[in-house]
Amino acid sequence: MKKLFTLSMAIAAITTSASAGGILTNTNQHVSFLRNPARDASTEIDAVYSNPAGISFMTEGWHFSFNGQSAYQNRNITSTFAPFASNANGSATADGTKKYKGVASAPFIPSIYAVYKLNNKWTFSSSFALTGGGGKATFNEGLPSFESQIAVIPALLTSYSTKLNQPGLAATQYSYNTYMQGRQYIFGLNLGAAYRFNQHLSGFAGLRVNYVSNHYFGYVKNISANLDNGTTLIPLNTYFTKMSTDMAAYATQYQTAGDAKTAAVYTTLAQTAAAVAQNTADKELDCDQTGWGVTPILGIDYKTGPFNFGVKYEFITKLNIQNQSQNTTGIAAYDDGVNTPSDIPALLTLGASYSVLPQLHLSAGYHHYYDKSASMANDRQKYLSSGTDEYLAGVEYDLTKNTTVSAGYQKTNYGATDKFQEDMSFYVNSYSIGFGCKFKINNHIRANVAYFQTNYGTYTKESSNYNNTGIKGKDEYTRTNKVFGIGIDYDL
Judge whether 17 lies within some domain: no
Residues 6+ apart with CB under 8 A from 215: 182, 183, 287, 288, 289
d(CA 97, CA 85): 8
Q: Burial level of 255, CB count in 10 A (0-12/13-18/19+)?
A: middle
d(CA 92, CA 374): 38
Which run of H or of E encompasses 38? none
Judge whether 269 lies within some domain: yes
For position 10, what pLDDT does the model report? Answer: 42
Judge whether 9 lies within some domain: no
pLDDT in tens, the chain (492 residues): 334 444 444 443 344 444 456 787 889 999 999 999 999 999 999 999 999 999 999 999 999 999 999 999 999 999 999 999 999 999 999 999 999 998 888 889 999 999 999 999 999 999 999 998 777 788 888 889 889 999 999 999 999 898 888 899 999 999 999 988 888 899 999 999 999 999 999 999 999 999 999 999 989 999 999 999 999 999 999 999 999 999 999 999 999 999 999 999 999 999 999 999 998 999 999 999 999 999 999 999 999 999 999 999 999 999 999 999 998 887 788 899 999 999 999 999 999 999 999 999 999 999 999 999 999 988 999 999 999 999 999 999 999 999 999 999 999 999 999 999 998 889 999 999 999 999 999 999 999 999 999 999 999 999 999 999 999 999 999 999 999 999 999 999
Note down the domain range covering 460: 31-491
For position 9, what pLDDT does the model report? Answer: 44
Give the side-chain half-sphere CA count within 13 A for 70.
4
pTM of model > 0.85 = yes
CATH number, position 291: 2.40.160.60
Judge whether 263 lies within some domain: yes
Q: Which of 442, 448, 396 is closest to 32 using CA atoms? A: 448
Instruction: Dump the DSSP string for 278-344.
Output: HHTS-EEEEEEEEEEEEEEEEEEEEEETTEEEEEEEEPPB--EEEEEEEE-SS-GGGSTT-EEE-PB
Judge whether 171 lies within some domain: yes
For position 331, what pLDDT does the model report? Answer: 78
**DSSP-based three-state secondary structure for 456:** strand
Judge whether 50 lies within some domain: yes
For position 377, what pLDDT does the model report? Answer: 87
For position 21, what pLDDT does the model report? Answer: 66
Query: Are residues 194 and 202 in contact, defined by beta-carbon separation less than 8 angstroms?
Result: yes
Query: Are residues 457 and 480 in contact, defined by beta-carbon separation less than 8 angstroms?
Result: no
Query: Are residues 33 and 65 in contact, defined by beta-carbon separation less than 8 angstroms?
Result: no
Pairing mode of beta strands 307-314, 283-304: antiparallel
**What is the tally of structural domains in the chain?**
1
- Counts of helices then strands in the chain (DSSP H, E): 6, 18
Judge whether 22 lies within some domain: no
β-strand partners of 206: 192, 297
Judge whether 465 lies within some domain: yes
